[in-house]
Amino acid sequence: MAAKKVPVIEANFPGGNILVEDIRGNTIRLRQDTRDTEGWWFYWCFRIRNAAGTTVHFKFTNGAVLSSRGPAFSYDGLAWSWLNRDEARGTAFTFSFPATAGEVYFSMGMPYLERNLKFFLDKNRKSPFLRLETLCLSRHGRKVECLYAGCLDRQPQVRVLLVARHHACEMMASYVMEGVMRYLLSRSELAGWLRENVEFMFIPFVDKDGVEEGDSGKNRRPRDHNRDYSGQSIYPEVKTIREFVPEWSGEKLKFALDLHCPMLRGPRDEKIFQVGSRYPRVWQEQRKFGLILKKCSAGSLPYSPAFDIPFWVGWNSPQNYRGGESFCAWAGRIPGILYAGSLEVAYATADGAEVNQKTATLFGQRLGRAIAEYLKNSL
């Protein structure tokens, strides 16, 4: 008699995160590893082997950690799809493994790691409008990427800064950032204007260690990366941003955008929205930009200024920032800045539309066009 298959679950790969509680027959109980997260969060990602030809029931024991489209799954860790099932209110799912499946990856979202960025850079390595440098070394010795794009051969008229992954788990924001870079390198007439006049700086992974090591990063102890912009910064990435960006700006930095993802599910969080600035003058610029973004995003993921959260509304209040100053609050005081905002990109569903690798990247391209139109209208 053939021995019964025992699935092997692993998290020992970039972005991996899971704790297995027990395996009983075809049911596996597991939970996310919150590590140094203060309180509860929902990030997880694992790989399973030795399950080909079987049907397995996965039950999570620490809260609703599935999106409204269920988990994301992949056969190679690069191309992801939503299972599109929402079972047991986000705490369980079932998967039938093809007979040929050597290994299958599962995650609460669609991971974007250093290797995804390298794939994009390799495709565009000959472009004279894109340059890779190192911002700094992370606490664990990783190179933290800093990309310059656009007007690189002379002094630009204006500068733009985009950052992402202050919270390591917020991967869908990275596809949006890549979309902006794709737009900047495209044949669009407005993209050509950007390359002639605007220098972009992109910092794809502010929490580089967290991204690669599979941390949540949200509410990290002893300090959240996005609360490290006051006092003495404890993270090399944030410290370098605070020291270098104002000098690089030379009062030409007009637009600074921090890309995030909200909670995993729920009416408020299944939207794309701006987080309103505490500074009234910046909030006025956000409102202006929101109208442009709504127009430019037509045909991609839906966005409306009606989704935005002004300061003093809901969680966007001083109490939420007691742990320290955020990137946007810090950037809003850089001399010459016009826009300093945060854009939240839903993980799986945006106002009813599916968020995935393709749609998030397309939205990023439309975001790039919106930035171009905003700058042309503002200068």
pLDDT in tens, 96-155: 999 999 999 999 999 999 999 999 999 999 999 999 999 999 999 999 999 999 999 999
pLDDT at 370: 98
Paired tokens of 327: 């990137």
Q: How many CB atoms lie within 10 A of CB 294?
A: 16
pLDDT at 357: 98
Q: Strands, E, within the chain: which ranges?
A: 8-10, 19-24, 27-31, 45-49, 55-60, 72-74, 81-82, 92-96, 103-107, 130-137, 143-150, 158-164, 198-203, 253-260, 273-275, 339-344, 349-350, 353-354
Which CATH number is correct for 114-378, 3.20.20.70, 3.90.1150.10, 3.30.70.20, 3.40.630.10? 3.40.630.10
Residue given tokens 């966005």 in the structure block = 303
Residues of the chain with CATH 3.40.630.10: 114-378
- State the pLDDT confidence band at 85, using cuts at 50, 70 and 90: confident
Residue 3 has pLDDT above 70, yes or no: no
pLDDT at 211: 98
pLDDT at 6: 86
- State the pLDDT confidence band at 338, using cuts at 50, 70 and 90: very high
Residue 86 has pLDDT above 90, yes or no: no
3-state secondary structure of 213: helix
> What pTM was estimated for this model as a whole?
0.97
Residue 379 has pLDDT above 90, yes or no: no
Please give the single-letter amino acid code of residue 127: S
- State the pLDDT confidence band at 5, using cuts at 50, 70 and 90: confident
Q: Summarize pLDDT for 236-254 with one digit per residue, the tens.
A: 999 999 999 999 999 999 9
Q: Summarize pLDDT for 212-226 with one digit per residue, the tens.
A: 999 999 999 999 999
CATH 3.90.1480.20 holds for 8-107 = no
- State the pLDDT confidence band at 1, using cuts at 50, 70 and 90: very low
* Ramachandran sector of residue 324 (left: φ over 0; alpha: ψ -120 to 50; beta: rest): left
Residues of the chain with CATH 2.60.40.3120: 8-107
Region 5-23: mean pLDDT is: 95
pLDDT at 87: 64
Q: Summarize pLDDT for 291-305 with one digit per residue, the tens.
A: 999 999 999 999 999
pLDDT at 157: 97
Average pLDDT, the chain: 96
CA atoms lying within 13 Å on the CB side of residue 272: 27
